[in-house]
A and B are shown apart, each in its own frame.
Chain A
Amino acid sequence: MDWDQFDLNPKTIAALKKADIKSVKEVLNLSGADLQRLMKLSSADIQCLLKTVSHTLRRNSMLTALQLYQDKDHFTSQHQKLSLGCSVLDNLLKGGIPLVGITELAGESSAGKTQISLQLCLCVQYPYKYGGLESGAVYICTEDVFPSKRLQQLIDQQHKLRADVPAEIIQKIRFGNSIFVEQAADLDTFQQCITRRLSLLLARGMVRLVVIDSIAALFRCEFGAAQSALKARYLQTFGAQLHSLSTRYRTPIMCINQVWQQTVSYSTGTGSRVTPALGITWSNQLLMRLMVSRVSLPGHSPGAAAHCAGSVRTLSVIFAPHLPPSFCYYTVQLEGVKGIK
């Protein structure tokens, strides 16, 4: 750390070097009393040091809520979101997936989580004007093999799903080239993937979406009941790393999660309920939680019977700082996931 760059008096700089203090973090981690002792300076000098390093770290960091609201820049604006490729689904989410933070998509098997994720990997490649981020995606598989055939089907049918986008634009996008598939079946490989591969792709601006399919699979076998503290540590560490990458590169992280049956006690008794796996430690890492489920409707809602070969599904908002709990119906077609009004 080059202390000479800071606006400090020479006495303080000399004391810092002599005490072998190497970073702003170290300075802030020490208490005022410890700093006085280590650097042999007066309390006033230490206060001055703390203020100066804090200023340097936090230069120009204030915004008013009005500035946030009025920011229309593609990269920084909160209004910019990642579209799901369907106006009904986007309306449910008031625009789409927020760019900063971890969004979870939980649900039973074959409820449509992978379908939605694949669709997002294509949506992200469209121009900003059409709800995309003009960049690629990383798809991290932790248990199943990547569904390349289905991806190809979706690519071939993009013109049908995205009737709102001119055909010339769709034709120009090399969808397959910008989706990077990674396999990570255990915790260590996953850790490596995040810290090395993911950081690299993000730093180079090649991707602006990360899909993890699924986060639950990483923790299924390896942890018994007695190791819940260790499991919690892993979850917090991963959560923090993903969160940090997401913030730094303004890139949404979509984590797919499984669900389990949980006994819940209400004031009126106990019951069993389907809840996302991994507990409160994981849900504390999330910005937004969505759930999908298959619904077997005895009498289909109008219009649904007309185009679905399979059943109708629901996409629900479980929590989000900017959305009320709500849901909508959708089906999975050849060309992709489409909401039903």
Chain B
Amino acid sequence: MQLAVDVQIPECFGGIAGEAVFIDTEGSFMVDRVVDIAAACVQHCHLIAEAQQEEDLRKALETFSLENILSHIYYFRCRDYTELLAQVYLLPEFLSEHSKVRLVVIDGIAFPFRHDFEDLSLRTRLLNGLAQQLIIIANDHKSAVVLTNQMTTRIGQSQSTLVPALGESWGHAATVRLIFHWDNSQRLATLYKSPSQKESTIAYHITSHGFRDVQPPAVTHSTEGTELNPRKRPRTEEEKQ
């Protein structure tokens, strides 16, 4: 939800002025929460504009309003994996018609695939197919693709560990992997897989306004948890809950 708002931030504020597609498989997209996050983002930009007193900032704010932000989040609800597969087949056409979309979110990719499959090889094949289609979409439409996944317990020799769901082969589908976890009551995000950044962990908060730093922004990378650098080539990412 945070990303679906942030992708719309106007360029003069450091954003990429894009639109977002949100595919919901779990029914956890609560629009009231998106409103809170969006309102905080608009407020934040207003404060910047007032502080810097520049004409182009103020002009950009005329179209960066709560209603505008909400109207550019395209929401699809998929109730089972067949609907999800169908929706992904239709995405390229949708993205061609809505060329300003710069973000596709699937929340969550695991939910429709973790029951109902006697035959795991069918599941693996379908997931691989889905991953390939999403990679093509990311490249053809210059759009970031973000998937959320569940964690599951892997029972090992002497202990059990928490690992991302959907198995080993799914781990290869994503270019970037972020794992969110807790230490006591501190939220942490670990960059687990990335072609260009090294593995590291940062702390963050979730406030009523959305994702925020733990410390004042002296931190150079990932200021808002998973914000994208618009100058980097868009890639397939995967966040974990």
Known contacts A57-B83, A287-B26; A65/B71 CB under 8 A = yes
Q: Mark contacts of A56-89 with chain B using CB atoms, 8 A cut-off: 1 yes-contact digit, 0 otherwise.
A: 0110011111101100000000110000000000
**In the complex, chain B residues whose CB is within 8 Å of the CB of A239:** 115
Beta-carbon contact of B76 and A62 below 8 Å:
yes
Q: Size of chain B's interface in residues, with CB distance under 8 A?
A: 53
**Chain B positions 145-164 with a Cβ under 8 Å from a chain A Cβ:** 150-153, 155, 162
- Selected from B90, B162, B184, B208, the residue in CB contact (under 8 A) with A51 is B90
Query: If A267-B183, A280-B152 touch, does A24 touch B75 (CB 8 Å cutoff)?
Result: no
How far is A301 from B46 in the complex, measured between Cα atoms in Å?
A: 42
Please measure, in the bound complex, the distance between the C-alpha atom of A29 and the C-alpha atom of B206, giving whole angstroms: 39
B31's partner among A55, A78, A237, A243 (CB-CB below 8 A) is A78
Query: Which of A57, A64, A279 makes the CB contact (< 8 A) with B153?
Result: A279
Q: Does residue B55 face the partner (Cβ distance < 8 Å to A)?
A: no
- Our pick among B34, B76, B89, B122 for the contact of A29 (Cβ within 8 Å) is B122
B33, CB-defined interface residue at 8 Å = yes
B50 on the A face (CB < 8 A): no
Residue of A nearest to B114 (CB): A236
> What sequence of 0s and 1s flags, for each residue 259-278 of chain A, a beta carbon within 8 Å of any chain B beta carbon?
00000001110000000000
Residues of chain A with a CB closer than 8 A to B152's CB: 280-281, 284
* Interface: B62 (CB within 8 A): no
Contacts of B82 in A (CB 8 A): 24-25, 28-29, 57
CB < 8 Å A-B pair total? 128
Could you tell me the distance between the alpha carbons of A268 and B185 in the complex, rounded to whole angstroms? 12
- Chain B residues, CB < 8 A from A79: 32
- B70:A65 contact, CB within 8 angstroms: yes
Find chain B residues with CB under 8 A from A324 CB: 206-208
B86 — which chain A residues lie within 8 A by C-beta? 24, 28, 53-54, 57-58
The stretch that binds B, out of A1-9, A93-101, A110-118, A195-203, is A93-101
Main secondary structure of the interface of B (DSSP, over half): mixed
User: When the two chains form their complex, are residues B27 and A66 in contact, meaning their CB atoms are under 8 A apart?
Assistant: no
- How many angstroms between the C-alpha atoms of A240 and B112 in the bound complex? 8
Report the bound CA distance from A122 to B116 in whole Å: 35
Contacts of A280 in B (CB 8 A): 151-153, 162
| Contact B32 A65, beta carbon cutoff 8 Å | no
Contacts of B61 in A (CB 8 A): none
CB-based contact B115/A284 at 8 Å: no
Expressed in whole angstroms, the Cα–Cα distance for A62 and B94 within the complex equals 10
Q: Which residue of A lies closest to B73 (CB)?
A: A65
Q: How far is the CA of A248 from the CA of B80 in the complex (A)?
A: 12
- Whether B198 sits at the interface, judged by CB under 8 Å, is no
Contact B89 A50 (CB under 8 A): yes
State A100–B31 Cα separation when bound (angstroms): 13
Residues of A within 8 A of B59 (CB): none
Query: In the docked arrangement, what's the CA distance between A101 and B33, Å?
Result: 16
On whether the beta carbons of B87 and A322 are closer than 8 Å, the reply is no
Bound-state CA distance A165–B83 (Å) is 42
- Within the complex, what minimum Cβ distance (angstroms) separates B101 from chain A? 12
Query: Given A280-B162, A281-B152, are A237 and B27 neighbors across the interface (CB < 8 Å)?
Result: no
The answer to whether A69 and B150 have CB atoms under 8 Å apart is no
Selected from B29, B110, B184, the residue in CB contact (under 8 A) with A268 is B184
Once bound together, how far apart are the Cα atoms of A221 and B69, in whole Å? 51
Q: Is A43 an interface residue (CB 8 A)?
A: no
Question: Cβ of B31: which chain A residues have Cβ within 8 Å of it?
Answer: 65, 68-69, 78
**Chain B residues closer than 8 Å to A281, beta-carbon distance:** 152-153
B77 close to A (CB within 8 Å) = yes
Cβ < 8 Å to B, chain A residues 310-341: 321-322, 324
A228 beta carbon closer than 8 Å to chain B: yes
Closest residue of chain B to A53 (Cβ to Cβ) is: B86
Given contacts A62-B76, A63-B75, A321-B33, contact A55 B90 (CB under 8 A): yes
Tell me, yes or no, whether A244 is within 8 Å of chain B by CB.
yes
- Contact present for B89 and A69 (CB under 8 Å): no
Which 9 residue pairs are nearest across A and B when measured between Cβ atoms? A322-B30, A66-B70, A54-B86, A65-B73, A65-B70, A66-B71, A240-B115, A54-B89, A236-B115
Supply 17 A–B pairs (Cβ within 8 Å), ascending by A. A25-B82, A31-B125, A54-B85, A61-B77, A63-B76, A64-B72, A66-B70, A68-B29, A69-B32, A79-B32, A98-B30, A240-B116, A266-B183, A266-B184, A321-B30, A322-B30, A324-B208
Name 6 extra pairs, CB < 8 A, besides A68-B75, A280-B152, A321-B28: A29-B126, A51-B93, A98-B30, A244-B80, A246-B27, A281-B152
